[in-house]
Amino acid sequence: MSNKSWLFTSESVSEGHPDKVSDRISDEVVDAYFAADPNSKVACETLTTTNFICIAGEVRGPSSVIKEVEGLARNAVKDIGYEQDGFHWKNAEVIVKLHEQSADIAVGVDEGGTDQDEGAGDQGIMFGYACNETEELMPAPIVFSHRILQLMAQARHAGNEPGFGPDSKSQVTLRYENGKPVAVDTVVVSTQHTEDMSQDAVRERVKPYIQKGLPDGWNCPEERILVNPTGRFVIGGPDSDCGLTGRKIIVDTYGGAAPHGGGAFSGKDPSKVDRSAAYISRYLAKNVVAAGLADKCLIQLAYAIGVAEPVAVYVDTYGTGKVADDEISKKLRELVKLTPRGIRNHLQLDRPIYARTAAYGHFGRTAEADGGFSWEKTDIADELARAFGGRATRAA
């Protein structure tokens, strides 16, 4: 890897992207069930298109929540900012097709599964990743891609950018040398806008957010800033493209810098290891890097449906580890119980904390006082470091 230079690209999409509208609605349903009963089970999918929203899936929880779902969907769309002829929070048709969870699934998930503990809701592999490229311990391209769109959305919600629409995408290409990001090569931003804005006007309004989203002193060459490269982008959101829950899994995670097991997160309660095991994998990887045990770390967990303990735990520090990967793996399993219940208890996941994850990434966020993004804590970093004779490089 030494003396090697390459380009790497990650993309993000805004909360108004059709798939993200669907993710948000599905996670609002998860939150509603958890607010009513922390023992609820939810697997919710949403489809959005021109003035139409369909919410379907399997649930187990208070029957009263079903009556709230249409209102939750409308309020989410309103909060995102859609009041357009082709997609309006008040005028869209909303169909709710949620039904009781399959008894065959329930028998494996409930306590009393094959190893007398709450079993995994499905088989699968989940990955977590962390690296020291950014303060967030995330790959730099995805962090910058998210940040640009977040800044634009904040300005739009504050009323400072009335010409911007809710739907937008970004893409950041960085140049790496000797394994470290050193410069910006290209930035692409496409944003929905009002009819009266020209392409030049959109470009001038977007450029400051690109600059604010990049580190101080990092400037993208003017000719490599591509804003609305196809030109007009007035019709956007679900009116322009059908949205579905779970189609932006690389945006949700590491921007392609690390493997993905394939399972989406939004719309699923934490008994689904697609979500909870991906969260704990990120937590473990982040704490390994925060402890100074490696410059980057990949964790893979594998589960079988109805079985509580993971069938495999894999750690890869890409040759940057200060101690052997198998020793790190052994210590992690001592510190955190990796059953679905153990994960849920450790990260306190049985709370209505999911709608906020639906846009701008599930990882690299700030842990919040009410338990949101609890998987971003580095509260076992000191113990990890001490176990191997060191001191954590970052505070918990």
Binding residues: 17, 19, 45, 58, 101, 167-169, 232-233, 241, 247-248, 264, 268, 272
Helix/strand/coil for 292: coil
Which residues make up each annotated binding site for ATP?
A: 17, 167-169, 232-233, 241, 247-248, 264, 268
For 180-237, strand residue ranges (E) read: 180-193, 225-227
> If you ran DSSP here, which 8-state letter would residue 102 be given?
P
Residue with tokens 């079988």, as numbered in its chain? 304
- Is 132 in contact with 322 (CB distance < 8 Å)? no
Helix/strand/coil for 84: strand
Non-local (6+) Cβ contacts of 52 within 8 A are 92, 93, 95, 238
Q: Which amino acid is present at 360?
A: Y
Whole-angstrom Cα distance, residue 312 to residue 118? 17
Whole-angstrom Cα distance, residue 185 to residue 7? 8
For residue 370, give both structure tokens.
């009410």
> If you ran DSSP here, which 8-state letter would residue 205 be given?
H
Sheet containing 124-131, strands listed edge to edge, beginning at the edge strand earlier in sequence: 124-131, 296-303, 312-316
Which residues make up each annotated binding site for Mg(2+)?
A: 19
Whole-angstrom Cα distance, residue 325 to residue 266? 31
Whole-angstrom Cα distance, residue 364 to residue 150? 13
Which residues make up each annotated binding site for K(+)?
A: 45
Residue with tokens 């040398």, as numbered in its chain? 177
Non-local (6+) Cβ contacts of 134 within 8 A are 140, 143, 364
Which residues make up each annotated binding site for L-methionine?
A: 58, 101, 241, 272
Residue with tokens 């967990």, as numbered in its chain? 301
- Is 227 in contact with 264 (CB distance < 8 Å)? no
Whole-angstrom Cα distance, residue 52 to residue 324? 53
